Amino acid sequence: MTALWAPHACRASRQACSRRPAACRRTRGFTLVEVLVALAVMAVLAGMAWRGIDAMAGSRTSVKEAVDRTLRLQTALAQWEQDLQAVRLSGAVPALRFDGARLRMTREAPSGLQVVVWSIRDGAWWRWAGAPVTAAAELREQWATAQQLTGQEPGTLRMVEGAETWQLYFFRTDAWTNAQSAGDPAAGRPGAAAGGEERLPEGVRAVVTVRGATLTRDLVVPSQMP
């Protein structure tokens, strides 16, 4: 039965294709040109997607770096304010002394007094804190050591990257004056009261340049007058 009907089936298939040539052509595969065009389109789309992802990753990295810098700056300013709020008169060494490059201060610690130095060098804002002491001789020795810091001493911290310059001003007698020359006119020397004893300024203003931007921070110094 199969041998008798097979020729008729082939003839019927050829007749159907002759009547519907478009339907028969749809069964063929893609040409090489069509495959190459499809691959080219896919490559262009992949390249565009990669550039978009790369831009998003770059923006994310930049935002993270900016946030990290902001957090470090806020931490440094919080420590700066904490140090100035804790400044104390000792009678052995000055409480505040600024030489244009570094600010040395004597601040209260839980177990005594310590010398703290803030300075800008090597493109960063640095802080050094000595160990708390209770003897005047130890405090004077620490104050002298603070004049010759190299940045390798224990207690040295790199607080802010990108710091370029800074200037300090002290507020006394209703006016801001340069911290390198500010003092009580009646005493004739910076920070001295009329009786010869040191007197703290009423406020400290720090003007710091970080990555080309100028930051100004004013802080009231607690009064220690009897």
Residue 46 lies in a domain: no
At 39 the pLDDT is: 80
Residue 7 lies in a domain: no
Residue 215 lies in a domain: yes
Range of the domain at 137: 67-220
Tell me the C-alpha distance between 222 and 87, whole Å: 8
At 185 the pLDDT is: 42
Q: Which residues of the chain have pLDDT under 50?
A: 1-10, 24, 184-195
Residue 99 lies in a domain: yes
Tell me the C-alpha distance between 101 and 84, whole Å: 17
Say what the pTM is.
0.69
Residue 187 tokens, joined: 């005493």
- 171-211, pLDDT tens digit by residue? 998 999 999 875 544 333 444 444 457 889 999 999 999 98
Eight-class DSSP state of 175: E
Residue 191 lies in a domain: yes
Residue 62 lies in a domain: no
Task: Scan for tokens 């691959």, then name that residue.
Answer: 39
At 195 the pLDDT is: 45
At 45 the pLDDT is: 80
At 2 the pLDDT is: 43
CB-based contacts of 203: which residues, under 8 Å, 6+ apart? 170, 171, 176, 218, 219, 220, 221
The CA dihedral of 171, 175, 179, 181, to the nearest 10 degrees, is -140
At 5 the pLDDT is: 41
Residue 211 lies in a domain: yes
Residue 24 lies in a domain: no
Tell me the C-alpha distance between 168 and 195, whole Å: 25
Q: How many domains does the chain have?
A: 1
At 38 the pLDDT is: 80
Task: Scan for tokens 């050591």, then name that residue.
Answer: 145
At 1 the pLDDT is: 41
